[in-house]
């Protein structure tokens, strides 16, 4: 009987920080060898460069630095097999590759066959697809290598198995989205059962601009059963033991508890915000707190991500701000241990109205005056940002951004939109989830009718369909790609559907100027969404 101890290196790597990533590789390999007695350590996809490097891959100096780092790692590490992923420059083009090394030697290199070119992925812009399976012996066990997207297609694992592979190692860089773990599980289980072969799936973790990598590294035995799980949104080195006989393999199992959906989404937002702020070296964040649920949830996420000392909460009342808004803003800040600073917009708002009065002669007040208030608040927040270096977090949610219920250069002003991909109905779910950990968001904030407080007695539903209805239509049109007629065919009011879809397209120019935010949905407003601003399409 042969036995392998494999360490799954679920690491938080930074794109472009080749030296920092190299040091993480070295530290992890030494720990796996000396502290965990591992035979092999497996790193995530493009672990040397971080994922996705995007157009850094078009720079020769970047590719050269990655090659130098790989050679340094090969020369440095002895006594453990290491599967490292990196770009590989060849006469045929640039490969998305992984290389198995041992004691200073390259034992085999595999080039990714299936290059994703949809959604957030753009790999055909940079890479040439490989066409050759790679099976390498590790302590006598023939081991097949496949990379990320390859596992979603039958032939890469089939080809490795046909060449005698008894084990599959799969480095990945698979971003988080709702229900993605369940999809991965189904695919991995199917591949393992089809080929009667265990699979080691290693994913990275951490935030990279709008993408969040959730980890979720795991082992699947030859029966398709989940045996070991590294958890979500954490860095870890997970050791796994596999026993091989002449025709069977047996993988050690452990009790596994998976997070429920709202918990995963909340953790994703926390990690995405933390890494965006820390990897870009901002000292902290600013949040404009209104007393509403969106800003309350944003503040809670910010404190959970960065700690209360790196978060500043600013309440900016106007003549339309209700007393309960101030009270709820004070309560959520107090519960989170954050000092609430109050800066009224009334003086600057009056000044704008006075300055613009001659130009507005003969025109009745309308949304213009409402938007001026939002822009007054943006000026205050951005002034504080400039003075102290803190990043402004916008607080708008996906539902508002979809239909343009937000003010360009007003409440859209900021550097990171924490709730950009969170529908309003999900905002309520996440607020309730956060309160199960420790009550911080007042119940009144959760049950109160949403209002922008830019006009007397204003409610969001004065301008929009009720959020539960709006979010159902947005789910059909945005996430599922259904047409107007298909949505109406499900029983929705035709006028409401046409109004919502018209607002989506009408406000494309706003979204193109919006801050980035963490991606949660299959179809987010970012790299997933590439619609023209100038368009006559209405379907």
Task: Report the catalytic residues.
Answer: 45, 112, 148
- The annotation status of 293 as a binding-site residue, yes or no, is yes
Q: Is 295 annotated as a binding residue?
A: yes
Between CA 13 and CA 24 the distance in angstroms is: 8
Q: What is the phi/psi pair of residue 18, to 5°? A: -65, -40
CA 519/CA 525 separation, integer angstroms: 8
For the record, the structure tokens of 8 come out as 């799954």
Torsions phi, psi for 506 (to 5 deg):
-65, -30
Establish whether 289 is an annotated binding residue: yes
Q: What span, in angstroms and rounded, lies between the C-alpha atoms of 64 and 57?
A: 10
DSSP code at position 491: T
Q: Which two tokens stand for residue 159?
A: 């080809």
Annotated binding residue 436: no
388 is in an annotated binding site: no
Q: Is 139 annotated as a binding residue?
A: no
Instruction: Give the Cα separation of 424 and 82 in Å (integer).
Output: 45
- Helix, strand, coil percentages for the chain (3-state, nearest 5): 40, 20, 40
Is 501 a known ligand-binding residue? Answer: no
Determine whether the annotation assigns residue 395 to a binding site: yes
Neighbouring residues of 148: CB distance < 8 A, sequence distance ≥ 6: 45, 112, 116, 170, 171, 172, 173, 174
Query: Do residues 201 and 217 make contact, with C-beta atoms less than 8 angstroms apart?
Result: yes
The pair of structure tokens assigned to 75 is 């020369």
Distance CA 167, CA 161 (A): 8
Confirm whether residue 291 is marked as ligand binding: yes
* Residue 331 in tokens: 């309560």
Place of tokens 């595999």: 110
Residue 367 and residue 452: Cα distance in Å, rounded? Answer: 12
The reply, when asked if residue 118 is annotated as ligand binding, is yes
Does the annotation flag 126 for ligand binding? no
Query: Is 24 labelled as part of a ligand binding site?
Result: no
Residue 140's Cβ-count burial label (10 Å; 0-12, 13-18, 19+) is: exposed
- The response to whether 433 counts as a known ligand-binding position is no
Which residues have CB under 8 Å from 277's CB, separation 6+? 284, 285, 305, 306, 310, 391, 416
510 is in an annotated binding site: yes
- Alpha carbon 308 to its chain centroid, in Å, reads 23
Output the known binding site for deamido-NAD(+).
Answer: 371, 400, 510
Output the known binding site for ATP.
Answer: 288-295, 395
Output the known binding site for L-glutamine.
Answer: 118, 174, 180
Output the known binding site.
Answer: 118, 174, 180, 288-295, 371, 395, 400, 510
């Amino acid at each position: 009987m042969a036995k392998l101890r494999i360490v799954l290196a679920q690491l938080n790597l930074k794109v472009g920080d080749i030296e920092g990533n190299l040091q993480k590789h070295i530290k992890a390999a030494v720990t796996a060898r000396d502290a965990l007695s591992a035979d092999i350590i497996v790193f995530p996809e493009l672990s040397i460069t971080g994922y996705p490097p995007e157009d850094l891959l078009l720079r020769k100096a970047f590719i050269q630095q990655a090659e130098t780092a790989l050679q340094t790692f090969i020369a440095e590490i002895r006594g453990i097999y290491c599967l490292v992923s990196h770009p590989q420059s060849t006469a045929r083009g640039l490969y998305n590759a992984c290389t198995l090394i041992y004691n200073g030697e390259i034992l085999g290199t595999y080039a990714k066959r299936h290059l994703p070119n949809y959604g957030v992925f753009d790999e055909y812009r940079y890479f040439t697809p490989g066409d050759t399976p790679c099976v390498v012996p590790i302590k006598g066990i023939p081991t097949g290598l496949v990379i990320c997207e390859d596992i979603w297609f039958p032939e890469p694992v089939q080809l490795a198995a046909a060449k005698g592979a008894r084990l599959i190692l799969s480095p990945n860089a698979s971003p988080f989205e709702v229900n993605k773990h369940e999809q991965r599980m189904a695919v991995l289980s199917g591949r393992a059962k089809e080929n009667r072969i265990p699979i080691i799936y290693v994913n990275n973790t951490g935030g990279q601009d709008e993408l969040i990598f959730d980890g979720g590294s795991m082992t699947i035995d030859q029966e398709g059963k989940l045996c070991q799980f590294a958890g979500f949104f954490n860095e870890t080195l997970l050791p796994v033991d596999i026993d091989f006989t002449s025709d069977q393999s047996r993988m050690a199992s452990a009790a596994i508890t998976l997070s429920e959906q709202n918990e995963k989404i909340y953790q994703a937002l926390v990690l995405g915000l933390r890494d965006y702020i820390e990897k870009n070296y901002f000292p902290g964040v600013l949040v404009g707190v209104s007393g509403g649920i969106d800003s309350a949830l944003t503040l809670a996420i910010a404190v959970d991500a960065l700690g209360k000392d790196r978060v500043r909460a600013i309440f900016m009342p106007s003549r339309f701000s209700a007393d309960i808004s101030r009270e709820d803003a004070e309560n959520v800040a107090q519960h989170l241990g954050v000092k609430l600073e109050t800066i009224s917009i009334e003086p600057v708002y009056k000044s704008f109205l006075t300055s613009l009065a001659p130009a507005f002669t003969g025109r009745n007040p309308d949304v213009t005056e409402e938007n001026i208030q939002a822009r007054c608040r943006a000026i205050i927040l951005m002034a504080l940002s400039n003075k102290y270096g803190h990043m402004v977090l916008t607080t708008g949610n996906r539902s508002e951004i979809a239909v343009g219920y937000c003010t360009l250069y007003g409440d859209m002003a900021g550097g990171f939109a924490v709730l950009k991909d969170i529908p309003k109905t999900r905002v309520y779910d996440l607020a309730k989830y956060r309160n199960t950990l420790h009550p911080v968001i007042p119940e009144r904030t959760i049950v109160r009718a949403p209002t922008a407080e830019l006009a007397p007695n204003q409610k969001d539903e004065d301008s929009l369909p009720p959020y539960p209805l709006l979010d159902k239509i947005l789910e059909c049109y945005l996430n599922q790609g259904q047409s107007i007629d298909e949505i109406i065919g499900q029983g929705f009011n035709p006028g409401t559907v046409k109004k919502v879809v018209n607002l989506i397209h009408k406000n494309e120019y706003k979204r193109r100027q919006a801050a980035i935010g963490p991606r949660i949905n299959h179809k987010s407003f970012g790299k997933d969404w590439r619609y023209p601003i100038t368009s006559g399409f209405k379907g």
